[in-house]
């Protein structure tokens, strides 16, 4: 099958569907850096007087892709709207990580059918990780003719050309490349935040955990050159951004694929970024296997590097970890955890855990609980295993009934909540530095933000504090958040 597939409907005859099998291949070809993005002349003003809306599902990577697509559309003259009825272009940026995320997207595509009937000129596009899956593309082709455009994660920079095709074609336009992926620099971005920003440091993943679809939908691990990243961070600092998050599916593998830099990893990059005058630097997502000592040494230097480590463990059982293909044991994870904790004593730790992996025994689940007891995580994301078609785990027979999985999840969540409450209690009567992000979701009279350790803090204060780093004294430490009082005059502790 060719790497590139671009065509109109008549699925079998005119274009090759995306292929997870092709996407799995790692040919070790050099990564191409594409630096010549431009909008074709005939599309440069096509959006003048028109509006767009992008709906985003899933992780930070998707949120940042949305910023890039918004940037491209704005360069073409479109303006953003949050009202689907006013939109001339609606893009649904999808997530494939769990079945219920996919179901939600299909439900939503269905509801847009009426809108498309009312407004036939509307361009409705589906992109993101789901678009990389053959089953999804097939389903859209068969059941959702209201969709005008499907494009994959490797095709974002082709949005102007694809939009042009969709605007002038009567049939569905599909372009999904099942390939390892390139790096496209200099794409426009319309950042959603004015004081917090995402910065991609690498793309893709080569870990192939047996349950995960990401290496298929996002391609191979490929790192941006440090110079490009540092330049971007310097520019954000110049613009007054207060916090950046370095993004990648497996940031700890950063640099391994850079041919001209030997032994340059995430630790080296963060050591350079540490010297840039931006108050807070975070990174996500970590993989324990690649988390090295140099990064720990750099994190221990503190400064603008925030004391929050998201370290997904997935299971506390070495046997389950082996079947998951995680590349570390329970013992190795714990050793790493304690090493980081010793080096950065104030750090908070969060994690991801999957329960009910195929054939997980009671004993193996108990090992997960005992690991949680040992680590006393500040928080985390817990899930019941969700099979993803095309992954090795989806082919495994599973003897664990759903009822058992649900009970395990409840027990795990109860334990995680206890430790969340315990760690939050340590903040009682402390004064902490908070980056004020906006009004609280529950009460617009209350402001909300995060500590450096990623704790949510709610407090009352003037709206002018939004976007500022302020000091807040914690007066009520709750299970998942902290309430406090704004300290106008005092210095915060971290
Ligand atoms: S490290 Fe594993 S879980 Fe994370 S994106 Fe890669 S394959 Fe998926």
| The ligand 1 atom nearest the CA atom of 250 | 1
pLDDT of res. 12: 52
CA 3 from centre of chain: 25
The CA distance from 96 to 186, in Å, is: 27
pLDDT of res. 490: 55
Distance between Cα 311 and ligand 1 center (Å) = 12
- Does ligand 1 lie within 6 Å of residue 129's CB atom? no
As annotated, the residues of the chain forming the CATH 3.30.750.200 domain(s) are 307-425
CATH for the stretch 431-486: 2.40.50.140
Mean pLDDT, residues 136-143 taken together:
91
Class of domain 307-425: alpha beta
Lowest mean pLDDT among 163-177, 309-323, 345-359: 163-177
Mean pLDDT, residues 26-41 taken together:
85
Lowest mean pLDDT among 177-186, 198-207, 226-235, 260-269: 177-186
Grade residue 77 by pLDDT with cuts at 50, 70 and 90: very high
Instruction: Kindly tell me if the per-residue pLDDT of 9 is higher than 70.
Output: no
| Residue 205 counted as an annotated binding residue | yes
Mean pLDDT, residues 356-363 taken together:
96
H or E stretch including 335?
A: helix 330-343
The CA distance from 259 to 2, in Å, is: 27
pLDDT of res. 144: 94
As annotated, the residues of the chain forming the CATH 3.40.50.12160 domain(s) are 11-175
Instruction: Kindly tell me if the per-residue pLDDT of 125 is higher than 90.
Output: yes
The CA distance from 324 to 289, in Å, is: 13
Lowest mean pLDDT among 241-250, 258-267, 354-363, 471-480: 258-267
Structure tokens at 282: 């975070």
Distance between Cα 35 and ligand 1 center (Å) = 28
Instruction: Kindly tell me if the per-residue pLDDT of 282 is higher than 60.
Output: yes
- Does ligand 1 lie within 6 Å of residue 6's CB atom? no
CA end-to-end span of the chain: 54
The CA distance from 179 to 114, in Å, is: 35
Question: What percentage of residues in the chain have a pLDDT greater than 90?
Answer: 84
Lowest mean pLDDT among 12-21, 265-274, 471-480: 12-21
56, exposed or middle or buried, with CB in 10 Å at 0-12, 13-18, 19+? buried
| Residue 209 counted as an annotated binding residue | yes
Mean pLDDT, residues 280-291 taken together:
96
H or E stretch including 14?
A: helix 11-14
- Does ligand 1 lie within 6 Å of residue 391's CB atom? no
| Residue 212 counted as an annotated binding residue | yes
Residue 282 pairs in a beta bridge with 245
Cα dist. 89→115, 180, 378, 456 in Å?
12, 29, 41, 35
Helix (H, G, I), strand (E, B) or coil at 283: strand
| Residue 95 counted as an annotated binding residue | yes
Distance between Cα 160 and ligand 1 center (Å) = 31
| The ligand 1 atom nearest the CA atom of 208 | 7
Give 485's Cβ-side CA count (13 Å radius): 6
∠ CA 117-120-123, nearest 5°, is 115
User: Cβ(88)–Cβ(120) under 8 Å?
Assistant: no
Cα dist. 274→140, 193, 196, 342 in Å?
46, 21, 16, 20
Distance between Cα 218 and ligand 1 center (Å) = 10
Say how many residues make up the chain: 494
* pLDDT tens per residue, range 405-448: 999 999 999 999 999 999 999 999 999 999 999 999 999 999 99
Instruction: Residue 173: name the closest of 209, 114, 127 by CA.
Output: 127
pLDDT of res. 22: 82
The CA distance from 99 to 387, in Å, is: 7
Instruction: Kindly tell me if the per-residue pLDDT of 117 is higher than 80.
Output: yes
Helix (H, G, I), strand (E, B) or coil at 190: coil
Rg (CA), the chain: 23
- Does ligand 1 lie within 6 Å of residue 249's CB atom? yes
Instruction: Kindly tell me if the per-residue pLDDT of 127 is higher than 90.
Output: yes
pLDDT of res. 269: 98
Distance between Cα 58 and ligand 1 center (Å) = 14
The CA distance from 338 to 294, in Å, is: 15
The CA distance from 89 to 79, in Å, is: 10
Question: What percentage of residues in the chain have a pLDDT greater than 70?
Answer: 96
pLDDT of res. 366: 98
Cα dist. 158→59, 140, 205, 212 in Å?
22, 21, 22, 27
Grade residue 363 by pLDDT with cuts at 50, 70 and 90: very high
Instruction: Kindly tell me if the per-residue pLDDT of 3 is higher than 80.
Output: no
* pLDDT tens per residue, range 452-491: 999 999 999 999 999 999 999 999 999 999 999 999 875 4
The CA distance from 485 to 457, in Å, is: 10
As annotated, the residues of the chain forming the CATH 2.40.50.140 domain(s) are 431-486
Instruction: Kindly tell me if the per-residue pLDDT of 187 is higher than 90.
Output: yes
CATH for the stretch 11-175: 3.40.50.12160
């Amino acid at each position: 099958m060719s790497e590139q597939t671009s065509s109109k409907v008549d699925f079998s005859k005119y274009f090759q569907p995306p292929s997870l099998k092709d996407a799995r291949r790692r040919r070790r070809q050099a990564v191409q850096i594409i630096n010549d993005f431009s909008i074709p002349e005939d599309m440069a003003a096509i959006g003048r007087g028109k509006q767009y809306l992008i709906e985003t599902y899933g992780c930070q990577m998707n949120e940042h892709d949305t910023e890039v697509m918004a940037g491209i559309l704005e360069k073409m003259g479109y303006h953003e709207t949050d009202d689907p009825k006013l939109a001339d272009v609606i893009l649904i940026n999808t997530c494939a990580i769990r079945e219920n995320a996919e179901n939600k997207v299909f439900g939503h595509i269905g509801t847009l059918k009426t809108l498309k009937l009312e407004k036939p000129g509307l361009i409705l596009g589906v992109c993101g990780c789901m678009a990389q899956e053959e089953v999804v593309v097939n389903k859209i082709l068969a059941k959702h003719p209201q969709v005008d455009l499907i494009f994959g994660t490797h095709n974002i920079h082709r949005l102007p050309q694809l939009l042009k095709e969709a605007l002038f074609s009567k049939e569905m336009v599909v372009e999904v490349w099942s390939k390892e992926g390139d790096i496209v620099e200099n794409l426009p971005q319309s950042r959603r935040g004015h004081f917090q920003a995402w910065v991609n440091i690498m793309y893709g993943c080569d870990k192939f955990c047996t349950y995960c679809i990401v290496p298929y939908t996002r391609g191979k691990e490929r790192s941006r050159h440090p110079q490009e990243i540092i330049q971007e961070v310097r520019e954000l600092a110049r613009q007054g951004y207060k916090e950046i998050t370095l993004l990648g599916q497996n940031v700890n593998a950063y640099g391994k694929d850079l041919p001209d830099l030997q032994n340059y990893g995430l630790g080296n990059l963060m050591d350079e970024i540490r010297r840039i005058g931006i108050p807070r630097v975070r990174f996500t997502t970590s993989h324990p296997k690649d988390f090295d000592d140099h990064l720990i040494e750099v994190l221990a230097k503190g400064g603008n590097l925030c004391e929050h480590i998201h370290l997904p463990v997935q299971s506390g059982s070495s046997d389950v970890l082996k079947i998951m293909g995680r590349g570390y044991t329970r013992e190795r994870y714990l050793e790493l955890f304690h090493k980081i904790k010793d080096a950065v004593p104030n750090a908070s730790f969060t994690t991801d855990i999957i329960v009910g992996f195929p054939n997980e025994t009671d004993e193996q689940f108990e090992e997960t609980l005992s690991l949680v007891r040992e680590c006393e995580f500040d928080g985390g994301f817990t899930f019941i295993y969700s099979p993803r078609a095309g992954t090795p785990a989806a082919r495994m027979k599973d003897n664990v009934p759903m009822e058992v999985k649900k009970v395990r999840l409840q027990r795990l969540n109860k334990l995680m909540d206890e430790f969340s409450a315990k760690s939050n209690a340590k903040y009682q009567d402390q004064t902490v530095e908070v980056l004020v992000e906006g009004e609280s979701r529950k009460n617009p009279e209350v402001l909300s933000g995060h500590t450096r350790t990623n704790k949510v803090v709610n407090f009352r204060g003037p709206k002018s504090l939004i976007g500022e780093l302020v000091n807040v004294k914690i007066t009520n430490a709750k299970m998942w958040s902290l309430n406090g009082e704004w300290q106008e005059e005092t210095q915060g502790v971290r």
